Structure formats: C-alpha cells, structure tokens
Structure 1
C-alpha cells in the first residue's frame, strides 16, 4: 500500500486540478456536449457540474474501472467514505448521456449495475505514424533481456518481477525504466533480496525505442488481487503488439486474452517461480521470442486510433 501521505497528496492534487478546470470550462462558452475523461475522479464531478450548468449532455469516459478501484485499492481509509464515493461515482455514470469504457468487461459491469447507456471504444495507437523497430544491434552478451518500461506504482505488483529475477540471474538481465509512487520501495526491495535489477530513469522519443531494441521480452504487469484489473487493459500492450515485441504478460482477464489472441507473448501469474520458469524457457529456446507480425496485424485491424476516433466522432454526433 502507498504511504498515507502519498495517498493524501495525490487526492489533494487531483482535487486542486479539478478546481482549476472549473473556471476554464465555464469561460469557454456553451458547448454542444461535455466530455469528462476519467483517470482522475474529480474530472467526472467537474464535468457533471458543467454539463448541468449549461444543460448539455455529458459523456463520461472511463479509462479506469472506477468506482471499483476505490474498493480494490482501499485508497480511502474510512468504510463510510468508500461507500459514499462508490455511490457518487455510480450515480453520475447513471445520469450521463453515455458512459464510454475501454473494455467490454467493465461495460458489462456498468450495465448490470443500472447504467443504461454504455459504449465500448477500446484503447489503441496511431497506425498513421507507426514506425516498426529497426533491426536490433549486435548482442554483447547471451543473457535474456527483460524490460519493464512504464509507471512504477501500486497497480503493477512488480515485486514478483524483482524476486523472479533472483531465480535466474545467471541467464536473465532485468531492466526497469520509469518512475512512480512505488519507485523508492521497489529499489529498496530489490536491494533487500539482492536482485541485480538495472533501474533507469524515464525517457522519451528515440531513447524509448533504444530500450525496446535492447529487450528480448517486455513485461506488462497488473497486480492480481484487485478484481477490477480483470477488466483493465494497459495501453502499453497495444504499443508492444504494434512493435512486434514479445510480451511477458503478468495479467489476467481481457488483457491476457488480447495477448493470447494476437499470439504475441506468454501469460504467467505473479508467482516468482512461474515467471522465472518462463524466462528460463525463453532463454533456452529463443525461437519462442519471435512473434512475427501477428500483433501488428491485430492492432491495425482492431486498435487503430484513426478507426477508433471515427467511431467516437460518430457517437458524439448521435448525441448532439
């Protein structure tokens, strides 16, 4: 769990960001429709208020499985406050003209809980500007290169990855690139278990591609003890599919199904022994790392942002 100070700080920052949105939204003139994109919950409440003031339809875009994550993460310390927040979020979802989700499973949960108009528009990547990776550079070692590139938070459960690396340190090198609320704790944990993890700071642009060229397999991980993650698909999956990277998928539900359907990696649970066994097999038989263009083809067919954008525009036009 996060330290209370970090939880409080994040909540306060989200509330401040939401408060700053309100005057900006109200000064823009009367819109045709109000869209509230929700990774941060205050955005939903601000969107609801603005839509009510202007008497315009509200689209609530749920990019995470709220309010289920409130319960799973135990981000609120009092049970009564958790119940109230859950009710408040669901009530706005029920009153919205449309709730847009990024996964089919979460759409089904909302529908079963009384949200009448739910549409699914999945995440994706831009295929218009897509550039495949160059040929990887000449290898200078024989170890399997494992890369995790992304947020170092509570949601990923990366302790399993760190502990797994200690089981196969003679044949596997793990690199973790990123930052987040759990970074310091993960670094201390790696030191405590004597894991030879290579931690690196976040990067952008060509430096990201350099990390991908280094990697033999890329980790996508969501902790398994939060039920809402059965209906969560990290957007990183679409990027890795398009690049033709082999994925070590430490995920369940829809995320695991996408990796399997695209034939672009292996699914494993959070047991460090099982993760280590997978990496050991991949290291011994590198043919299993060759996923070809199946993932790229899957993305172009089902996760092109250009196609998804057209679908979203059509949805908005139907409302207004």
Structure 2
C-alpha cells in the first residue's frame, strides 16, 4: 500500500503534529508499506527556516524510510492572522500541485490542526482518485473563536461550512479525542465513519531515566524542586498564570521551587518581558531543542505543568505532552479540565488544578515539593498508564483503519464494476 500523507508540520520540527505524523509513518514503513509525506520547509513556530533547509519550490529527502517531499510556502511566525493565513493557503496550493508528482497513492491522508491542509488532502484525493482520510487534531476554526484570535465574522461562518464539507467528503475521520467525535456526531456527521486514535508517546524514547545532574548543574537547578512547562508558548496556553504562580512563591520565600520553560511560540517574548518586570529569579526560559535531546530536559523535572486557557472548547482536547511525561515517570500538575483530566485522575498520575488559577497551582506545587513520596507514587502510576498509549500500538491501530477503508472502497468499486478484482483495484 502507498500512503500519501499531507501535513504542514514534520521533523525536525518538534511540535505534536510533527511527532505524531513521523512516528506513525515510521511504523507503517516498518510494516512494509510505502509512505510519502508532503510538507513544507521546517520553520515552526518562529517562522524561520531551520538550518540546513531552504524554502524551495520542491525538495526531496528520505527520513527513516519515509519519502519526504517539501514544497514552497509563504513562511510566517506563529502569530498574526493575515500572514498565518497566507502561510496556510500557500501550502494548500503547492501541496496539492505536488501531489500530482507522487506515483500512484492508494490513499490520501491529511491532518489538521488547520484544515487548509485538509483541503489540500481532499483536492489531492480527487486528482489522484484515491480515498481521502481526515485526521482531526483540532476543531478548527472553532479554536480561533475560542482564543479570540479573530472576531466573529462571516469568514469564520464560511470556514465552518467548509469544515463540515470536508468531514462529509472524508472516507473516514480519525480524531484524537472522544470529545471530538461527540462534537462531530452532534453536528450531523455519521458516527460509523469516525474512529478515535488518541495521541501517545514513543516509549522507546520517552522512558524513565535518572536525572541529568550535569544539565541540572549547568542550568543552576541543582537542589531545586523543578517544575517544567515544555511545549509551544502560544495564546491558547495562558502561561501568564504560571508566571503569577512563581511570583506568589517568590514573595512567600519558597526559593527551592523553580519553574523551567522550554519551547517557543507567539507569547514567549511577552512572557520573558513579564518575568523581567516582576523581577522573578525562580524562572528559566530555554529555546526549543531537538526531539532526541528533549528527554534530557524532561529528566531534570520533578513535576510537569500542563495548562490551557479556561475555555469550554479545551475540555475536548488531550495535550500530547501528557503522555510523554507519564512515560518518563514525571508527576503531572494538570490545568486542563475534561477528557485529559479524566486520564490524570483515573490513572492517578498527577494533581488537578483549575485553569488560570495561580493560587491553586501554587498549592499543588508546594504539596508535591513537600511530599516526595506522593510525587514518586504519581510518577510510577504514570509509567504504568503510559503503556496504553504506546505510539507503536496506536500507529498499528490507525493502519488497520486505513486498510479497512481501502477494502471498503474496493467493495464499492466492485459494485460499480463487478469485473474488477480487489488486486486490480489496489495495484
């Protein structure tokens, strides 16, 4: 089987869509399938092309057996509606055109979070006469409304109509949460075509390891209780709450608790400025590091903070970093209600706090820093719970869904042309 996968994020980018796509495609190649990925030059989230890459009209490379086709796009930082829209639309156009240069795909998959990529996937599937599968990572454009990045408008209304059109045209839809499935069903999408494959962690990379003492010393964190936020610093994450928590701790003289920020995003400059304004000495900001190195930084953490704005939409999401810190055996301080909080509470892998409530986060930090036995138990529970979210198993589950959709498509074609065999259809 030849899978054509469209995504605007792919390694060496290290965000959740890039990691999930790469790890799934890698497993499919191991299973003996051919996989071609169409993506753009790596630039997320700062809008600068990574060293060693160029924003060319078309470039090719191989990555763990995956054929990677990189196309030109208008590159912008992860901020500003107009420039980001130009980024999305340009990739939609060039990715669609590039799909014509890919030899005989059997299926076309496109992933969100922004669905202009899904538009390209649908167009490519029509041009190549292959089934279209929509991997749903975000309810976009609903998330734009939720964070206030764009005012209510006829444009958003039109985008929602386009969103529903794509859902209806997809052979199957693969959302990453059960809440997403419920949302789609409530909006009239057939439940039978929706199959949940959650996010997970690469357990060969994210696993328990000793604290990296050399790194801790280099960062000035030796002897500290280190809580960390690792990931994108975006509008949705409301990381001002974490700074307010550190302000409370500093004023109270809780000098042994330190907060580490690792990553980049639209809010990082403002967060740094706010930390300086508050004269915080218990905060460290670091830029994004390669995926293979991030486990060193996870290892110095005594707790991981996961946080999103207090918005109803975010009760439907499951931040992928949850599975990574579980796999590492790091207790979670979780400020996201809903389906992800159920995982935290059900597996007893961390402590819950209310989103945007700095006082509650402060209380949970003190609890874990003073009760190391509790922190140890939560971490051990996380290691056990993470086994259910092994990326290799999840990739195999998605592969079975893809293969099932192809067999279904073959059956439909045979009804139209009884003389055509399954082998003739798939070759």
Is the aligned partner of 1:212 residue 2:288?
no
SS in 1 for 2:342: helix
Matched, 1:234 2:358: no
| Stretches (4+) displaced over 4 A | 138-142
Match of 1:147 in 2: 228
Deviation at 1:49, TM superposition (A): 1.2
Instruction: Give the match for residue 306 of structure 1.
Output: 392
Compared with structure 1, are the counterparts of its residues 92 and 141 closer, same or farther at alpha carbon in structure 2 (3 Å cutoff)?
Answer: closer
Contact 1:156 1:222 in 2 (8 A): yes
Q: Tell me how far 1:176 sits from its aligned partner.
A: 0.9
For the residue of structure 2 that corresponds to 1:155, the secondary structure is: helix
Match of 2:308 in 1: 222
Match of 1:182 in 2: 267
Kindly report which structure 2 residues correspond to 1:231-310, keeping only aligned pairs within 5 A, or say none: 231-269=316-354, 270-290=356-376, 291-300=378-387, 302-310=388-396
Gaps of 5+ in 1: none
Cα distance in structure 2, aligned partners of 1:128 and 1:214: 19
Tell me if the contact between 1:67 and 1:90 (Cα under 8 Å) persists in the aligned partners.
Answer: no
Match for residue 405 of structure 2?
A: 319
Q: CA RMSD in A?
A: 2.2
CA change 1:53–1:207 in 2 (3 A) is closer
Equivalent-residue separation in structure 2 for 1:31 and 1:74 (angstroms): 39
In structure 2, the partner of 1:123 is 199
How many Å apart are 1:31 and its aligned residue? Answer: 2.2
Residue equivalent to 2:142: 68
Distance 1:50 1:185 in 2: 40
Contact 1:128 1:306 in 2 (8 A): no
> How many residue pairs were aligned?
316
Contact 1:262-1:294 at 8 Å conserved across structures: yes
- 1:134 is the counterpart of 2:213: no
Q: Structure 2 length as normaliser, TM-score?
A: 0.69
- Which structure carries more relative contact order (alpha carbon 8 Å, separation 6+)? 1
Q: Which has the larger radius of gyration?
A: 2
Q: SS at 1:179's partner residue?
A: coil
Distance 2:136 2:372 in 1: 39
Normalised TM-score (structure 1) = 0.91
**2:249 alignment counterpart:** 168
Separation of aligned partners in 2, 1:214 and 1:293: 16
Tell me the SS of whatever aligns to 2:80: helix
